[in-house]
Structure formats: C-alpha cells, structure tokens
Structure 1
C-alpha cells in the first residue's frame, strides 16, 4: 500500500480478491485512491467501501454457478471491449485456464468460457501460451480440461508455491526458458508435497472429524495442496497451517457436506482474517490459538455433519463389460467435455479383470501401469499398492485416449481396485 501511495496511483483494480479487505480499502480511499474490486469469493456482512464492487452475488439475477476470479476479470475486459471476445483468443485461453484451475463448477457461463478457451488455446500458432501448451502436449491430441487441471495449472501455480509468482507471469508473457523453469519448480513441488502429506496424515486420529496439522517447517505455498490431499484421501475436512513466529497462516479444504468458510465465520473471534469458498478457504491467526481453533472447528463439523458422512467415496456412473471398451466409446465420452467441478468425468466399474504386466512407474515408483482387458491402464499415486494387487480384480476407472507416435488407443485411468474374494 505504501508503494502505491508513493507512486501517486489513482485507481486500483483487484482481481480475485478484495471482498474481505474492508480496512485496507478504506485506508486507500482516504489517501485518494479509488478501488474497483473484481472478486467472486464469499460475501461477508460488511462490504468494503470501494468505488465499485464487481461480484456476481451482488448482481440480482446473475446466473449460477458464478464465474472464477479469472472469469470475472474476462467479463470486465469483454465489457470494456464492447463484447469483442471473439477477437481475444489469448485472453479467452487465459480465462479458461483460470476457470479450470480455480475449480469452479463447469456449467452455464463457466462451461462456455472453458469450451471456447480450449478452442482458442488450440488455435494459437505461436507465442508464449502456445509454447506452454506444446510443452505438455500429448502427441497431437488437443488438450482437454483435464490436461489443463493436471498439467498446465500445477505448473503455473508452482511458481508462487516454490519461488516467485512473477515467474508464472513471465512464462505467460515471454515463454521460452521461463516455461522450462515452471517445469522444474513443479517437479520440486511434487517431491516435497508427497513427503509432507505423509507426515501430516500421521498427526490426526483415524476417527477425528478434522484432519489438522501445523508446523514451522511447512512452506506457505503448499499448505493448500497438503490440505487438499488429506481431504481427498480421508473424506474429512482438513486444516494445514504454516507457523511463522507469533502467527500462522492456514489453508482449509472440505468435502461437499461441510461449508468450511461458514465454519470459519463461526470461529472468527479466533482469527485475524479469513476468506474462501464452500470447500476451500484460508485464514490467519495467532499461533497460540491453534489448539482452540481446531477444537472449535471439530465441534462445528460434528454439529453440522454426521460423522459417518465423512468417508471417502467414488461416485460411479455405470458398470461396463470389457468387450464394450473401444476407441469409439472413448471418443463419445470425450464429447461430454469439458470435465471438472459440476461435470465430472464418467467413472465405470469393470469387473473380474486381470492386471497384466503390472509395474511401478514415475519418480520413486509413485504410479502404477498395467495392461487391463487389452488396454493400457495407469493408476496415478497408486504405487504404494504394488504387491497388494492380486487378480482377479474389480476396478473403478475413467476411459480416455492415449496417443503415441501418431497411433491412438484407449487408456484406462484406474482410481480404485479390489481383489475379488472367492
């Protein structure tokens, strides 16, 4: 703020933040700096005294689901350009990446942003975004929303998590070696996150309603990833805090049965600041309040969610026979893209199959690869199950495409496997 005042800035436009910054925005206004807030986060009772608030919840009749912060910024840009979004392929691609990365529901307007943005990204023939796209390409197959979520978004996020977020901006604006730097940071991020998730998982009892872990050793940039993994693996809300001196910063994640930001609101007397969405939030508090905060949140979870609902589960769409799996089926399923929040990729149960040529792959053997029903199959982050998987199996999988040297084939993405008991 002091730097903005020093440079005599007259207008500040926020993106994806600002709705909870009541005091800072009031201070800026007193200094003669107008603030336009462009945000989509949870609206609290007291609104910031900004010159303008651009938030979907404050617009009567704005369709659900609401856009991401990137989507809101794109809508503002489109309005300023008099609706000329057809002439902004790079901007449409960026809005798409931000929409997928922010895990908003891919229905309505968000679905349109992602559909058009994917086409725009594919149409780029040169430039930094084309370089980023090509660095994660799949042998000629156009990238999907799943590729954006698991290949591009983590690389962009790795800059801020492991180093300087400006490195991601450099990659988007300049490409070249900056894109390779993102790859290096993402690999480092994967290594450290995996070890810290294992550590955090051991600090909470099996039947506790809240997964909680705090440490001075946690890098601030990856506490959200640790919390997300804990919730994904256990089906329970989680809070992971990085302690720095007298204060701590925490990230929270939750399954759909519990609104974690409303939970923080009910414990706000313990917090310095907080904000977020239904399933993801962040907060700052005095480190000596950690125990009381986790106890309050645990009690709040039990008051709003039955304990037996806090169990990890996979929603299955259909049972399928191995003989029904084909390139044509994979292509038909692909027509349902873009997949993501609100439009999950279909999952199938495949019964009584054998995992042939089973082996561990990836760094430290973290993944599994096999042939199942004659098709290539991969189980991401299932490497620890090697030696425990015995034929015959029932599996839960997604059905996608693989391309190698110009040849297309079906690929099964295994999410769970269970041996058939005689």
Structure 2
C-alpha cells in the first residue's frame, strides 16, 4: 500500500486567531468549531448566519449571465409561435437530471415539446449529427441543449442552415469559437460576468427557467419543486458546493428528504439507502444508478424514471435501472482486475508516471470508473481506452493538482476529438496512434508532475482531542453541511490512541476497534479497506488516526463513531 501524506491546514496568523476567538464568543461555539469556520472563509457573525442558514433569496439574478436576455426571449418567442421545441441533454447524471427538470417544468405549461438523449455508443458526447437530423425530420425549430453544446460549432452551423435554432445551456470550457446559436449560456465564457462560475449543466438550465418565469410573470417558487433533481446533478457532477451551488444543494436535500418526486423516491427505495440523504449517499447511491442506464443501455430510461409520476411504474423503471447498475458493477470489477494485472505485470507500465491502457473489448460505459479505480491503487494520471467504431475511445482521470485536460491537449495532433476539464476528460484517436499517444502523454506528465502529486494525500483540518467530541459538538458540525468539494467533511487527527479491548478484522479487509485518549470517552473506530493495519494494532504498536465523525444508528441507539481515513503507526 502507498503510504498517504497527511497535509495539515496551515497555522493561523494572529489575525485569524483573533477572528476565530471572536466567532467562538459571538456564536457560543467551541474554539475548534470556530477554527473550522475561519478555515472555510467564514469571518464574522453575518457570514456565519448565511453559512449555517443558506437563503434561497440570495440566488443571483439570472440576467447577470451573458446571453440570458436573448435566451429567455427566444424561448418565449418559440412558445408564443407554437414552435416544436426539443430538449437535448447529455447521457450522464447531469444531462439526464437537466432534461427531466427542464422538460418536466416546461411540459406543464407548453405541450409542443419532446426530449432527446444521444446514444453513448452510437452518437457519442454532445450534439450529434443524428440528433440534428432527427430534429429536422420531426419538424423541430428550436433545440435547447443542456450540459453540452458549447463546442458544437459545426453541428449548430449546419442546423441553422436547416432552420433549427439553438439555445445552449452548458458549463464546460468553451473552445476558441462559440457556436452560432440564438444564445449561449455558459458561466465559463470569458465574456460572462455571472458571479458564480461553478453551476452544473442542470444549474444553467434552472437559471434559464428562472429568467423565463421572471419574464412571464410566473412565480419562480414553482421551480423549487425541481430542486431534488438539481441537487442530484450537483452531487453527482462533483462540482464545488460553495456559493450558489451550496444554496441550491441545501434546499435540494431538504426537498429530497421531505418530498422527493415519485421516480427519485423509487430509486431511493431500490438503492436501500436508510436515514437522511446527504451529498455522499446521493453520489454513491443514486448517481451510479442513474448513470448506469446510459452506460449499459440508453439514458432515456433514466429520464423516463425521473419524470414518472405513477408509483408502480416508477418502481418498475427503478428495478430495471438497478439491474443495469448490477451489470455495470460486474463490468467495472472484471475490467479493473484486468487493468491492474496489466500494470503489475509490465515493467514499463509499473514504472511510468502515467497509466494509458488499451484493450479492444473493454466496455466503453465503465472505462471512466476503471480509470478512477486504477488511481486508487496507482496514484497517477490515468487513461483507459477501448475500441469503438474502429477508433480508440478513452476516459481520462487525474490526481489533485495535475491538469489532465491540458496534457491531453498537447497531444492534439494524435487525436481526432477530445474534451473535458482539469480532472476528467474524454478522447478519441486512430488505433494506430495509441502507442505514440501513450509515449507522448507519459513524457508530458513526467516533465510536469511533482513527486508529491504521485503520493495520495489526506487534508487534515485540525488536531482534535477526543475529549472535545460531544453530541453538541457533532450537532453543530453537522449543520456545516452540505459537505462536498469546496466544503469537505472536516477531517480530524487524534494522536497517541489507547486501544480498548481487542480489534476486529471484518471480511479480512476492514478493521474495527475501540479507542480512547487520556481520560476521554471510548469511541468505536471503523476503517474500511484498512485490514492491513490489524497485525500492528493488535500487537500494541502505538498509533495516531485521522477520521471524520459520523453518527451510527444501530437498533435505534445513536452513537458517535470515528470513520477512519488513515492510520499512522509510530
């Protein structure tokens, strides 16, 4: 196992110390909790109030986004002229939730529309030629894209010649040229002054509907019924849960827990999630199942589920999607095994600073997941390629601090197509170029990646004495959510643990033990995948732990336990 680096939050300046002390007094919280707030940029009472109690009234004016006026006007014109509108979304969670939100809302007030999701394997990512042809054949004159389209200059140009207009709602980095659409909504446009840049594709679609409601004199609050879909996109697309996303996620989780729509309720039941939903169990419980529809069969199935309003029908759809997810897991597991075997049994692969693997029969729908699994074992930028329509098609994933999109861009002359962002990207290249690409990509990574980027790290927020962990401490800590990128669940380090009783080894892979520190209460610590620490701990070797706090509810008895991130032996 690679030993992880524990990276501690930089020590506070004297000014930050004073702010933390002042916050602790004004909020009547412990110094540790006040420190966590200051680390997150919360510096006074008013900011604390907004942080602990996000207010939906603080959402930005949608008309601050470039082209929003044009987009709203074009949508209204289409409705007033009874044009056929096509809602076009990507096949992942962000795309399918976007379509369900946009189509679901608009369908209630306007009947002349339909939705279209491209086939992952036949059409690929983004606006496809098949999609444009289908829209033309069926008489659509306006296409609203969601979570795609900002780089589809050629398709939008041709569609325009056929009398089809576009409103593009995207959140990916635009290329050098914007498509000639009626409106291009993308906070990442260089000329866009919208204050928050990290919306999902679903979030951009939500902002367009918000603008539409304002223009049409509709109560924007009717849109809030759709926040359960929006929070699923925010969680699953791994965007920062800061600013506007945090407000939307906060209210979305409330909706998800109090009154989820029929399709999502069925999905929650089939996922076996118990207790309150948070960002984590949306990411690991709901997201993969919604994604599985597009990976194994067709993402239209996911949209159909999300739009379903009849319980029996929704359960049928959810069960079908759950089967796809089980199938996806089997592919994921066997391909990961093959990929790791290839690395371990080839000296060049083992010693390289990157991983680029190709096998013609790997399932295209899971190669992104396999890339992530390889990074868990070999912490370095990874690209997994398979054969698709006579080409090598791949998914790239990166490690913190390394821009994989930039590295791929430097190999553009070997590629036919690529797109994505810092930590994840997709690419297509001729089969004959795979080896040359592997060598070039590894050269680029080797020349730029820092040695410490090749070692997994754990960001530790602070040292914490176990005696400071109380139900009140945890209750306030929990209110600092929703947690996710930009506001991660706090990670604590506690040193010089005293083992209480004998540790348990579960399924030869996981470890569980009771610990205390000096005169503290006894806490149960659980470390999944940390069974390799068992021999040292059972033999009494001293150790420190880093962990997150969580509540364990067993037989209606709630206790605080330590969810281990790592163990450091002394």
SS of residue paired to 1:300:
helix
The answer for the alignment partner of 1:99 in structure 2 is: 234
Which of these residues, 179, 193, 217, is aligned with residue 61 of structure 1?
193
Which of these residues, 238, 251, 265, is aligned with residue 382 of structure 2?
238
SS of residue paired to 1:57:
coil
- Taking a change above 3 Å as real, the CA distance of residues 126 and 284 of structure 1, as seen in their structure-2 partners, is closer
- Taking a change above 3 Å as real, the CA distance of residues 46 and 388 of structure 1, as seen in their structure-2 partners, is farther
* Contact 1:38 1:54 survives alignment (8 Å): yes
Alignment of 1:305-316 (within 5 A): 305-316=449-460
The answer for the alignment partner of 1:75 in structure 2 is: 207
- Taking a change above 3 Å as real, the CA distance of residues 300 and 28 of structure 1, as seen in their structure-2 partners, is same
The answer for the alignment partner of 1:360 in structure 2 is: 506
Measured after TM superposition, the shift of residue 384 of structure 1 is 6.4
Task: List gaps (5 residues or longer) in structure 1.
Answer: none
SS of residue paired to 2:320:
helix
Q: Whole-Å Cα distance in 2 between the matches of residues 266 and 409 of structure 1?
A: 52
The answer for the alignment partner of 2:280 in structure 1 is: 146
* Contact 1:235 1:311 survives alignment (8 Å): yes
Larger Rg: 2
Cα deviation digits, residues 303-326 of structure 1 (max 9, x gap): 333244322111111223333334
Higher RCO structure, 1 or 2 (CA under 8 Å, sep 6+): 2
SS of residue paired to 2:193:
coil
Measured after TM superposition, the shift of residue 60 of structure 1 is 3.0
**1:262 paired to 2:406:** yes
SS of residue paired to 2:460:
coil
Which of these residues, 197, 214, 220, is aligned with residue 364 of structure 2?
220
The answer for the alignment partner of 1:32 in structure 2 is: 163
Q: Whole-Å Cα distance in 1 between the matches of residues 363 and 411 of structure 2?
A: 25
Q: Whole-Å Cα distance in 1 between the matches of residues 486 and 554 of structure 2?
A: 31
- Taking a change above 3 Å as real, the CA distance of residues 340 and 125 of structure 1, as seen in their structure-2 partners, is closer
- Taking a change above 3 Å as real, the CA distance of residues 385 and 180 of structure 1, as seen in their structure-2 partners, is farther
Measured after TM superposition, the shift of residue 100 of structure 1 is 1.1
- Taking a change above 3 Å as real, the CA distance of residues 191 and 321 of structure 1, as seen in their structure-2 partners, is farther
The answer for the alignment partner of 2:461 in structure 1 is: 317
Measured after TM superposition, the shift of residue 50 of structure 1 is 2.0
Cα deviation digits, residues 235-275 of structure 1 (max 9, x gap): 31111112135301111111232222222222211111111
Measured after TM superposition, the shift of residue 209 of structure 1 is 1.7
Which of these residues, 530, 537, 541, is aligned with residue 390 of structure 1?
537
Q: How many residues align?
A: 414
Measured after TM superposition, the shift of residue 376 of structure 1 is 4.5
Higher mean Cα deviation, 144-153 or 402-411?
A: 402-411
Higher mean Cα deviation, 117-126 or 10-19?
A: 117-126
Higher mean Cα deviation, 158-167 or 350-359?
A: 350-359
Measured after TM superposition, the shift of residue 185 of structure 1 is 3.0
Measured after TM superposition, the shift of residue 332 of structure 1 is 2.4
The answer for the alignment partner of 1:299 in structure 2 is: 443
The answer for the alignment partner of 1:124 in structure 2 is: 259
Measured after TM superposition, the shift of residue 16 of structure 1 is 0.7
* Contact 2:419 2:425 survives alignment (8 Å): yes
- Taking a change above 3 Å as real, the CA distance of residues 353 and 217 of structure 1, as seen in their structure-2 partners, is farther
Measured after TM superposition, the shift of residue 353 of structure 1 is 4.7
Q: Whole-Å Cα distance in 2 between the matches of residues 379 and 194 of structure 1?
A: 22
TM-score (norm 2): 0.67
